[in-house]
A and B are shown apart, each in its own frame.
Chain A
């Protein structure tokens, strides 16, 4: 055996094709069911979906809206990816976004006379730290007290939202709101030095999406090119082997949730600093501020195969779904809830197809190793090293 024969390349290729087609199949499946639902609601599915696609991707303005909607999804998504890779489940994206946004807001409010070159990085950094703390808490609870992170992150979501509602009603409220007596729970306009720069003066597109893509690339580098990411993945795949190798499982669990929270915190920060009103507002509801990005980010990450780079197109698709929903609603007169259902269907399909893909892959892997060992059985000097694969996951 001197090179990888077709018998080996074959199955590999098949699994690879399968794994690439999973997202497409999931979307197709979800839309097929969505079409049935539209038809049952008395709307024409084709005009509906067409309106949706146009609303999301059909014009420059539409693309800008989609990019802006995608930004928090991407950031939360790569954060979720870090956690999942370390085998920690983070349902706390919502709370981490809120705490990041609050930290950003508080820091920004104190930056009245500071130049943008200092004020903006500080405000964004505060968001990162705020989110990181909100992730580190459940991390430490899990690592050192065995508290289930799913429960603790969900509970911390509630805490963060309540804290936000209180802070925006009392200590952080815009003094004008009290003067006028309207008492809308929102802060004053943040200093202009903390505004996210716009690409076109007077336009809507700020640098948030660019930051998010850069962060996604950095997370990729972190996970597959650094020792720290190597440890996170090792701990995620086998706590026993990681411990054997001298890694601290506890420390890595805390680190994973801290990083994960930091990403969501940055998402919250960008939401505030890039908002049209340049202030933090709450409508009192649990998802009023985040628009559910903390949850939708989980979907985005799963759809991206828990890979930071694939999460970029994934977030764009889900951002498009959310933006397109408004157009769909207008064209087909159906509730936006239908789009939420579509989101859910995509997830369902991804998860179930992924399971199938995994089974196929395991089967093929077994076949490959059978071929590999049998073709070298009579060989005294084995181990042909064949072509170099990509070394990411």
Chain B
């Protein structure tokens, strides 16, 4: 196989961080080489250097063996490099054809012939199984379709080397499978692919080789055959990792959270939840699996009192809290880890200890007769920060200084400190580093073991749901389309249900 690319000793510094620290990376024609690493490991930075968006402080880029400084994306494109960015770079008000034609070289006497472009798009979309309408406007397309446009744009430019920065983050499991098929085809056709991800099972399914980055440094390079999820995770984190927490057997008690025939409107005035029924018992984790935007947010919010249902009932620990205020729901025993932790779950400008009393500043011992008791608050904050291993330079630094994982641990610490009878955890580990995710999972399992809390886990991460939940309910377009025991759960079947194909078998 020919060596398409070699990056040698790449160093890139940003104020306060070394994003890439003497990184070596290479790519051969016909292979998928994955860059794996946690958020902030430096994956995007390395590829942005390759694409000419950043200049390296040190190191060389060699294209097909010869040193080639790349100072702009145009040069990268001219060298046959394509990139599908983490955040799509398409103009929403233009059509697919116009977007593909932009910056491309199909000009006829200085003007582009859009019809030729559109025809070529049709060809490419057929030969690669990338269904896209060339005349559609970008704003009309779903994220999955937009991504296909990005890939077509790269194919149109006939790239030899395609970088895909976290392409699966926005896709359903079915879409991911389809994308992988296309990517494998492209590799077999002799192109070189760089795939960026932090999802372990995807990496193993798609890659030939895997390079793991951590804090800007290469932790190692392995082939997909010799790697396992555990070894990869350990390389990413720098210490041994348990991916699936050990779960003691289920011993559920009485139902603590009951939802009957719940109907809720979404923000746009359309039904977001329709006749939804759920029940969660203490000592049990019920996982809600589904692609985001199928009513998960509305479900969590209507339990937490942040959204008024149009009909139906929500009961927390025997109290009917349908349509009650958030404070009433909390008094009934609800703890809630919100999906938007930065927006809802914490106040960035408040200190760590101020955030730790956000929901209970009114209770003893944090306050008495309307006065905050700073001594008690500090002591309690220190205790919670210790107990939940929140990494922070101090109790008085603004919470905005904490990393995603540490902020989430802070929120979890606060929510669990009130001894709730129901815990709703929405996307508890999304965007959180593996170490923190592992920690949060352990805590949820621990709560389950206390047999006094009913846990509703809402997550788009199917691995997370499969690993933690005792029962899995799949939500699709505001309805529960199926419920299975975690023990007998079949990943494929759940994936189909998540895509709206209802379960008719067994």
Contact = CB atoms under 8 A, between A and B. Distances in A.
The yes or no verdict on A and B being binding partners is yes
A315 to B, nearest CB: 25
A363 B385 CA distance: 25
Nearest to B328: A246
A113 interface: no
A368 B338 CA distance: 26
Interface in A145-172: none
Contacts of B359: 245-246
B338 A244 contact: yes
Contacts of A242: 347
Contact of B393 (A225, A234, A372): A372
Interface string B318-352: 00000001110110000010101001111111110
Contacts of A245: 326, 358-359
Nearest to B368: A227
B347 A238 contact: yes
Given A225-B371, A227-B362, A373-B403, A244 B392 contact: no
Which of A237, A241, A370 has its CB near the most chain B CB atoms (within 10 A)?
Answer: A241
Contacts of A355: none
B354 A387 contact: no
A245 B327 CA distance: 7
Contacts of B394: 4, 385-389
Interface string B273-309: 0000000000000000000000000000000111000
Contact of A383 (B16, B325, B350, B389): B389
Nearest to A380: B239
Contacts of A382: 389, 391
Contacts of A388: 378, 394-396
Contact of B344 (A231, A244, A386): A244
B75 interface: no
Contact of B345 (A237, A244, A389): A244
B86 interface: no
Given A246-B305, A385-B392, A386-B393, 18 more contacts: A226-B371, A227-B371, A230-B354, A242-B347, A244-B304, A244-B344, A245-B326, A246-B330, A365-B401, A368-B401, A370-B16, A380-B239, A383-B389, A383-B390, A383-B391, A385-B382, A388-B395, A390-B396
Interface string B17-33: 10000000000000000
Contacts of B238: 377-378
A238 B326 contact: no
Interface residues of B, number: 57
Contact of A8 (B348, B372, B393): B393
Nearest to B327: A246
A378 B215 CA distance: 11
B347 A241 contact: yes
A302 B370 CA distance: 28
Contacts of B350: 233-234, 237
B400 interface: yes
The list of the 8 closest CB pairs from A to B, nearest first, reads A246-B327, A389-B396, A367-B16, A369-B401, A246-B326, A244-B344, A372-B393, A370-B16
Contacts of B338: 244
Interface of B: 15-17, 215, 238-239, 304-306, 325-327, 329-330, 336, 338, 340, 343-351, 353-354, 357-359, 361-362, 367, 370-372, 374, 378, 382, 385-386, 389-398, 400-403, 406
Given A226-B371, A369-B401, A369-B403, A241 B361 contact: no
B500 to A, nearest CB: 31
Interface of A: 4, 8, 224-228, 230-231, 233-234, 237-238, 240-248, 363, 365-374, 376-378, 380-383, 385-391
A390 B353 CA distance: 12
A263 to B, nearest CB: 19
A52 to B, nearest CB: 38
Given A225-B371, A225-B372, A373-B403, A383 B347 contact: no
Nearest to B353: A391
A147 B63 CA distance: 62
Nearest to B301: A244
Given A227-B362, A241-B358, A244-B345, A383 B396 contact: no
A244 B378 CA distance: 23
Contact of A385 (B348, B351, B385): B385
Nearest to B395: A385
A234 B367 CA distance: 16
A374 B305 CA distance: 39
Contacts of A383: 385-386, 389-392
B161 to A, nearest CB: 31
Contacts of A230: 354, 357, 361, 372
Contacts of A227: 361-362, 367, 370-372
A240 B374 contact: no
B386 to A, nearest CB: 6
Contacts of B362: 227
A386 B401 CA distance: 15
A259 to B, nearest CB: 14
A228 B349 CA distance: 18
Nearest to B346: A241
Nearest to B326: A246
A226 B370 contact: yes
